[in-house]
Amino acid sequence: MSPVSLLLNILWVVLGGFWMALGWVVAAVIMAITIIGVPWARAAFNIATYTLFPFGQKAVSRDEYLGRSDVGTGVLGLIGNIIWLVLAGWWLALGHVVTAVILAVTIIGIPFAWAHLKLAGIALWPIGKTIVPA
């Protein structure tokens, strides 16, 4: 991780990244408790880590990254994303959007607001994504 990414990640955690990462962890734990939600819990834990340290990383589709489809990028992934959207995705996305609006009020907060908006999109459709170095 570059020094700039490290500095941005530290500022990110202080300026609200921690709370949104905690939201992802809560969603993951709730999904894991249900046993049926374990695939969603795994995706939520991965994105919770990304939400805690988003600079220097990016989320990409697994089929584009690996060059082949798998269970999470096919029809089952589509169904899983629809279920996720209904159960947890909309409120995580809403949290990211509200945080982005608050951060966008200041010039210093604009890069962080942009990162929250990208995370809001991921919050709506996380299955089939993987986190890779930028």
Q: In the prediction, which pLDDT does 36 show?
A: 86
Q: Is the confidence at residue 88, as pLDDT, over 80? A: yes
For residues 119 and 117, what is the distance between their CA atoms, to the nearest angstrom? Answer: 5
Q: Is the confidence at residue 71, as pLDDT, over 80? A: no
Q: Provide the phi-psi class of 132: left if phi over 0, else alpha when psi is between -120 and 50, else beta.
A: beta
pTM (2 decimals)?
0.88
Domain boundaries, the chain: 3-133
Q: Is the confidence at residue 62, as pLDDT, over 90? A: no
8 Å CB contact between 44 and 126: yes
Q: Which residues pair with 57 in a beta bridge?
A: 133
The pLDDT tens digits of the residues spanning 20-60 come to 999 999 999 999 998 888 888 988 999 999 999 999 999 99
DSSP, residue by residue, 30-42:
HHHHTSTTHHHHH
8 Å CB contact between 96 and 117: yes
Q: Is the confidence at residue 18, as pLDDT, over 90? A: yes
